[in-house]
Amino acid sequence: MRVKLRVPATVANVGPGFDTAGVALQLWSYCEIQPSGSDLQLAFEGEGQERFAGVARQMIERALEKCGMAGQGLRLRFVNRIPAAKGLGASAALRLAVLYGLRKLSGPVDIADVVSRVTELEGHSDNAAAAAAGGFVVSARTAQGVVWHRTEVPEELKFVVCLPDRETLTDDARKMLPDHVPLGDAVFNIQRASLLVAAFFSRDFELLREALQDRIHQRYRAPMVGPFDEVARAARDAGALGVFIGGSGPALVAVVATGNTDGIARAMEATFQSAGIGARTMILPPSNSGLEEIE
C-alpha cells in the first residue's frame, strides 16, 4: 500500500490570535509513504533540503514512536515547497503528513487524533489545525485533545507574504515572550481576537483594520524580524488592511481585500532593503482545502 498526500502552508498567530488562529494558503508540500522491508528510507527534496533533512528525520522518528511503529521499515519521500524556519508552518505540514500517512497505512484515520498528536510535538495547535482543515481556523487545546472550528475564506482575500533574509526558530521566538502581560494588554487582545473571528466568519474584512492589532506577542518578537513597524506601515499605506508576523516569524503577512498586491509587495521589500535586509515576497490566496489524499 502507498499513501500520497499534499498539505498546505499555514500562517498562524494571526494578529491577536496567538496559538489560536491560523489560515491555510495555496502553497503545498507533498508526501509519499509506503512500507519497506528495510530501515527508514527518507528522500527529502525542495525548500530547505540541506538544512531541513536532518530535522525531518528526527521528526519522523518521533512520529513513528507516537504511532507505536518505531523501527518499522518505511520508504518516505517528502517534497517541501514551504520555506523552512520562515513562519509558514513547514514543520507542522511535515508532521501532519507523516502522522496521517502512518495511520492510513494501518487503517481508518481519526484526523482529530492526528491533529492532537501533531500539537503535542509542535507545542501549539494553530498550524496543525489549519493545515488539516483548510480555510481560517480557530483552535484550542483541551484535556480531551484539540478542538477547532473553521470557515472558508474567499480567494479574493490575498495574503502578501514577505520573507526577509533571516530565519527564526519557534523555540527561540518563544523565549522572547514575557511570562506575564499587563491586564490592559490582555483585554486589548481579547477584544481584537473577538473582532478577528467576527471578521472571518461574517466576511466583513474591513474589521481586520482593527482586528489584526496585537499587544501580547508581536512587540516582543519584532526585533527578530527587523523593521516590523516600518514594514507594516508601508504595507498599510499601499493598501493592505493590516500586517502580522506569520507564526514565529520572520514572515510578515499583509492581508489585502482590494488593492494592488504587487505594489504592497514592493513596498514591503523596499522597506526591508532600506534597513539593509534582503527580502522576497509571495502573493498567495487562501486554501480552503487542508490535508488531502491525492493520486
What is the residue extent of each domain of the chain? 3-152, 158-284
Identify the CATH homologous superfamily for domain 158-284: GHMP kinase, C-terminal domain (3.30.70.890)
Domain 3-152 has CATH 3.40.30.10: no
Mean pLDDT of the chain, nearest integer: 90
Averaged pLDDT, 40-69: 74
Residue 203 φ/ψ, nearest 5 degrees: 60, 30
Averaged pLDDT, 5-32: 96
Rounded distance between C-alpha atoms, residue 12 and residue 21, angstroms = 6
pLDDT for position 52 = 67
pLDDT for position 89 = 94
Using CA atoms in the order 96, 283, 285, 249, what is the torsion angle rounded to 10 degrees? 40
**pLDDT grade for 105, boundaries at 50, 70 and 90:** confident
Q: Is the pLDDT of residue 14 over 80?
A: yes
Rounded distance between C-alpha atoms, residue 266 and residue 273, angstroms = 10
Nearest to 148, CA basis, from 295, 287, 286, 19: 19
Highest mean pLDDT among 35-44, 79-88, 133-142: 133-142
- Residue 41's CB is within 10 A of a number of other CB atoms, namely 12
Nearest to 52, CA basis, from 9, 96, 13, 82: 82
**pLDDT grade for 76, boundaries at 50, 70 and 90:** confident
Rounded distance between C-alpha atoms, residue 257 and residue 212, angstroms = 14
Q: Is the pLDDT of residue 159 over 90?
A: yes
What is the grid cell recorded at 57?
A: 528525520
pLDDT for position 35 = 83
Determine if residue 228 is left, alpha or beta; phi over 0 gives left, psi from -120 to 50 gives alpha, anything else beta.
alpha
Task: Pick the more confident residue, 50 or 198.
Answer: 198
pLDDT for position 201 = 97
Q: Is the pLDDT of residue 197 over 70?
A: yes
Nearest to 292, CA basis, from 124, 151, 134, 108: 134
Q: Is the pLDDT of residue 68 over 90?
A: no
- pTM of the entire predicted model: 0.92
pLDDT for position 73 = 79
Q: Is the pLDDT of residue 168 over 70?
A: no
